[in-house]
């Protein structure tokens, strides 16, 4: 009877749902209850963006990691982290000396296993980390980023696994970040690895998004998988991962040996997790991430980015419809725009060399697709706007693309006089630790136990500076206050809407970007506050948003009068929020 062990991806449960992760004191509360559940051989405690977002709300991530790993270390439960290979714990490449320091620091903090992945499956970005992790005493779990295309076959992944095992990988993980890996293919990959290397533990990680992951887990189990990543309520399913209760019951019925679940402890972890949501984390969780959607099957975008994607769409949606209206064209619903984006991603993905849609390459491809839609609507050609990071991916500076670039993209690169790069990606990023050591000495900053503060400074330079100055804490408090207000506003809209009853023709003016609202003088009173009952004309500028990249003038979309102002002079508005409501005086036929 084959034994299957479970790993609770507590870190990823949060980051697949919203922006922030629990604080140190919250993690200290929940860890004993997770242990009491008695069904987990492993727990994911940190990695990915968790330490960066910890800095963003003004707390020390090193203390957070040590606090969370300690009880699991004492209970004999292995801890693991997510490691982005060349990118370390951030979105952009990291010098080799900082990458190497990471393993020394994380081992000293109680992290047992590092899950090393490259978003392009380029083994050159993974193999150095295998050696550094082993030298530090960690278990290097080399990772295959699973996606679905003509290129990403079972044989493709089996070949990569063989290279990683030959390079010294202690374990292999199948990271199905979008959950679009087909179950039969997952089974073939696991079977091949376990047949050739029965001594190598294999772990499967699959997001729930499009709905394949439960079947994939069963196929992986039948093929000989050793560990399965699971979640639990209230953060299972949706864009997260299958719940441990369902997977345990399924495998038990199939004849596998699986651990029992202490349901009293399960309910306590569930209660505590919900209390963290209620306290502050829930204000940053998009409700859409609670739902699964088969729309992800074709486009392959990962569930973890759906929240930010929808926020982007809401902001762009108003701008697109404003343009369409000005040119007497049919406006788009948000659902229509969402489907357009998914179809555009599906269309451009093979042209861009089929990069697996995982951090950061999923963001690059999504951004190109969104800019293409905007360009096409305005009668401009595709590829009119491609940012620098996306060009670095296209040119090979982040690693070798799995597929062949379309001739159209190659011609565009030549037109811009860009040079393609086929060397080792790490060579583009020289060592930097001496610079950070020198500055810490000059500022008399403590390098921390086992150089952990030096590591955080070097890995997350800008966020660490804001943490040390206190700016991060202040900014987060403002962000939380605004998020609470936004939720209260949404709840009030769900009640009988007096505005809708009194002004049936009123429609919102939506902010196309995040920034500070500056109302035009004609729209404010003597106290510098914006006023209601102001007559406006179509195309008239009513306010301006000061963004990080410049000024966005906001124009009235109709002739009418302002009947409600949602943002005061100088307040911060988030992309997609309402600035004001205008009662339309006469709709055009």
Sign (positive/negative) of CA torsion 405, 407, 408, 409? positive
Task: Name the CA radius of gyration of the chain, rounded.
Answer: 25
Task: Report the alpha-carbon distance of residue 316 to residue 406 in Å, rounded.
Answer: 28
462 in any annotated domain: no
Q: Are residues 265 and 348 in the same domain?
A: no
Domain boundary among 226, 255, 285: 285
Task: Report the alpha-carbon distance of residue 56 to residue 61 in Å, rounded.
Answer: 10
**DSSP sequence for 361-428:** HHHHHHHHHHHHHHHHHTTPPTTS---HHHHHHHHTTT---SSPBPHHHHHHHHHTT-----S-GGGG
Is the bond into 21 cis (omega within 30 degrees of 0)? no
Q: Which two structure tokens, joined as six digits, stand for 225?
A: 């998988």
Question: Which pLDDT score, from 0 to 100, does residue 518 have?
Answer: 86
487 in any annotated domain: no
Question: Which pLDDT score, from 0 to 100, does residue 528 have?
Answer: 61
Q: Are strands 113-116 and 139-145 parallel, antiparallel or unpaired?
A: parallel
Q: What stretch of H or E contains 222?
A: helix 213-223
Question: Which pLDDT score, from 0 to 100, does residue 526 have?
Answer: 53
Task: Report the alpha-carbon distance of residue 519 to residue 513 in Å, rounded.
Answer: 15
Q: Are residues 318 and 197 in the same domain?
A: no
Question: Which pLDDT score, from 0 to 100, does residue 569 have?
Answer: 81
Q: In what order do the strands lie in the sheet with 515-519?
A: 551-555, 541-546, 515-519, 572-573
Residue span of the structural domain in which 561 resides: 497-584
3-state secondary structure of 230: strand
What is residue 232's DSSP assignment?
A: -
Instruction: Please report which residue ranges of 8-95 form alpha helices under DSSP H.
Output: 10-15, 24-36, 50-56, 61-75
419 in any annotated domain: yes
Q: Are residues 270 and 346 in the same domain?
A: no
Number of Cβ within a 10 Å radius of residue 422 = 9
| CATH assignment at residue 534 | 2.40.50.100
443 in any annotated domain: no
Provide the β-strand partners of residue 141. Answer: 115, 171
Residue found by looking up tokens 């403002």 in the block: 478
Q: Are residues 102 and 217 in the same domain?
A: yes
Domain boundary among 285, 314, 338: 285
Q: In a 10 Å sphere around its CB, with 0-12 CB exposed, 13-18 middle and 19+ buried, how is residue 317 labelled?
A: buried
Q: How many residues does the chain have?
A: 589
- Burial code (b: 16+ CB inside 10 Å, e: under 16) for 533-547 equals ebebeeeeebbbbee
Q: Are residues 275 and 356 in the same domain?
A: no
Q: Are residues 124 and 273 in the same domain?
A: yes
How many domains, in total, are found in the chain?
Answer: 3
Question: Which pLDDT score, from 0 to 100, does residue 169 have?
Answer: 98
314 in any annotated domain: yes
Task: Report the alpha-carbon distance of residue 314 to residue 269 in Å, rounded.
Answer: 34
**DSSP sequence for 488-544:** HHHHHHHS--HHHHH-TTEEEEE-SS-EEEEE-GGGB-TTS-B-SSEEE-TT-EEEE
Question: Which pLDDT score, from 0 to 100, does residue 498 have?
Answer: 47
Task: Report the alpha-carbon distance of residue 158 to residue 356 in Å, rounded.
Answer: 16
Q: Are residues 24 and 154 in the same domain?
A: yes
Question: Which pLDDT score, from 0 to 100, does residue 166 have?
Answer: 98
| CATH assignment at residue 213 | 3.20.20.70
Question: Which pLDDT score, from 0 to 100, does residue 321 have?
Answer: 85
464 in any annotated domain: no
Are residues 323 and 524 in contact, defined by beta-carbon separation less than 8 angstroms? no
Helix (H) and strand (E) counts in the chain: 22, 16
Domain boundary among 285, 312, 339: 285
Q: What stretch of H or E contains 82?
A: strand 78-83
Cα distances (Å, whole numbers) of residue 346 to 118, 297, 349, 391, 432: 21, 10, 6, 19, 38
574 in any annotated domain: yes
Q: Are residues 239 and 185 in the same domain?
A: yes
Task: Report the alpha-carbon distance of residue 96 to residue 99 in Å, rounded.
Answer: 5
Task: Report the alpha-carbon distance of residue 457 to residue 467 in Å, rounded.
Answer: 10
Question: Which pLDDT score, from 0 to 100, does residue 288 have?
Answer: 76
Question: Which pLDDT score, from 0 to 100, does residue 311 have?
Answer: 62
What are the pLDDT tens digits along the chain (589 aa)?
Answer: 899 999 999 999 998 888 899 999 999 999 999 999 999 999 999 998 899 999 999 999 999 999 999 999 999 999 999 999 999 999 889 999 999 999 999 999 999 999 999 999 999 999 999 999 999 999 999 999 999 999 999 999 999 999 999 999 999 999 999 999 999 999 999 999 999 999 999 999 999 999 999 999 999 999 999 999 999 999 999 999 999 999 999 999 999 999 999 999 999 999 999 999 999 999 888 777 888 888 888 888 786 666 566 666 776 787 788 888 888 889 888 888 888 988 999 999 999 999 988 878 888 898 899 889 988 988 889 998 888 889 999 999 999 999 999 999 999 999 999 999 999 999 999 999 999 999 999 999 999 999 999 999 999 999 999 999 999 999 999 888 888 887 777 655 444 444 545 666 788 888 888 888 988 877 777 556 677 778 899 888 999 998 777 788 898 888 898 888 888 888 888 887 888 888 887 544 4
Q: Are residues 224 and 311 in the same domain?
A: no
Q: Are residues 328 and 242 in the same domain?
A: no
**DSSP sequence for 86-120:** GGTTSSS---HHHHHHHHHHHHHTT--EEEE--TT
Q: Are residues 108 and 165 in the same domain?
A: yes
Q: Are residues 59 and 172 in the same domain?
A: yes
76 in any annotated domain: yes
């Amino acid at each position: 009877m084959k034994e299957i062990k479970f790993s609770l991806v507590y870190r990823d449960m949060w980051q697949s749902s919203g922006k922030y992760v629990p604080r140190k004191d919250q993690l200290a509360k929940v860890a004993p209850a997770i242990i009491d559940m008695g069904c987990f051989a492993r727990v994911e405690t940190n990695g990915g963006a968790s330490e960066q977002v910890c800095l963003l709300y003004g707390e020390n991530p090193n203390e957070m990691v040590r606090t969370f790993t300690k009880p699991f270390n004492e209970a004999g439960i292995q801890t693991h982290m997510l490691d982005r290979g060349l990118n370390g714990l951030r979105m952009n490449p990291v010098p080799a000396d900082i990458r190497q320091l990471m393993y020394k620091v994380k081992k000293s903090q109680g992290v047992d296993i590092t899950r090393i992945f490259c978003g392009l499956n380029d083994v050159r970005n993974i193999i150095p980390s295998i050696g550094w992790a082993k030298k530090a005493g960690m278990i290097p779990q080399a990772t295959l980023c699973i996606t679905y295309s003509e290129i990403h076959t079972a044989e493709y992944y089996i070949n990569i696994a063989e290279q990683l095992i030959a390079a010294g990988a202690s374990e292999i993980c199948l990271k199905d970040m979008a959950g679009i890996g087909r179950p039969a293919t997952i089974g073939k990959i696991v079977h091949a690895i376990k047949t050739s290397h029965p001594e190598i533990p294999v772990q499967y990680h699959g997001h729930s998004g499009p709905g394949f992951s439960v079947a994939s887990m069963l196929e992986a189990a039948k093929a000989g998988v050793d560990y399965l990543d699971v979640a639990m309520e209230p953060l299972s399913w949706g864009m997260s991962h299958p719940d441990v209760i369902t997977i345990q019951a399924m495998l038990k019925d199939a004849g596998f040996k699986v651990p029992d679940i202490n349901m009293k402890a399960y309910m306590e972890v569930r209660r505590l997790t919900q209390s963290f949501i209620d306290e502050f984390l829930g204000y940053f969780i998009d409700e859409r991430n609670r739902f699964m959607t088969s729309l992800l099957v074709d486009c392959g975008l990962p569930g973890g980015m759906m929240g930010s994607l929808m926020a982007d769409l809401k902001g762009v949606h108003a701008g697109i419809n404003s343009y369409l209206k000005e040119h007497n064209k049919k406006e788009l619903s948000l659902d229509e725009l969402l489907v357009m984006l998914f179809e555009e991603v599906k269309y451009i993905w093979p042209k861009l060399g089929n990069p697996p849609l995982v951090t950061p390459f999923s963001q690059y491809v999504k951004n190109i697709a969104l800019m293409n839609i905007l360009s096409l609507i305005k009668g401009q050609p595709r590829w009119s706007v491609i940012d620098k990071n996306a060009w670095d991916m296209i040119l090979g500076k982040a690693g070798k693309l799995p597929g062949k670039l379309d001739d159209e993209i190659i011609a565009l690169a030549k037109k811009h006089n860009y040079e393609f790069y086929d060397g080792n990606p790490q060579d583009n990023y020289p060592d930097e630790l001496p610079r950070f050591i020198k500055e810490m000495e000059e500022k008399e900053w403590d390098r921390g136990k086992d150089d952990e503060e030096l590591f955080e400074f070097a890995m997350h330079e800008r966020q660490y500076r804001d943490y040390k100055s206190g700016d991060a804490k202040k900014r987060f408090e403002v962000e939380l206050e605004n998020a609470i207000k936004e939720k209260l506003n949404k709840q009030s809209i769900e009640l009988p809407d007096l505005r809708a009853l009194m002004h049936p023709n009123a429609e919102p003016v939506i902010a196309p970007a995040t920034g500070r609202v500056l109302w035009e003088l004609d729209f404010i009173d003597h106290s510098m506050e914006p006023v209601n009952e102001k007559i406006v004309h179509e195309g008239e500028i009513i306010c301006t948003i000061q963004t990080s990249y410049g000024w966005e003038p906001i124009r009235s979309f109709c002739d009418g009068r302002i009947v409600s102002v949602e943002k005061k002079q100088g307040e911060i508005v988030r992309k997609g929020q309402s600035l004001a409501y205008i009662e339309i005086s006469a709709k055009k036929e």
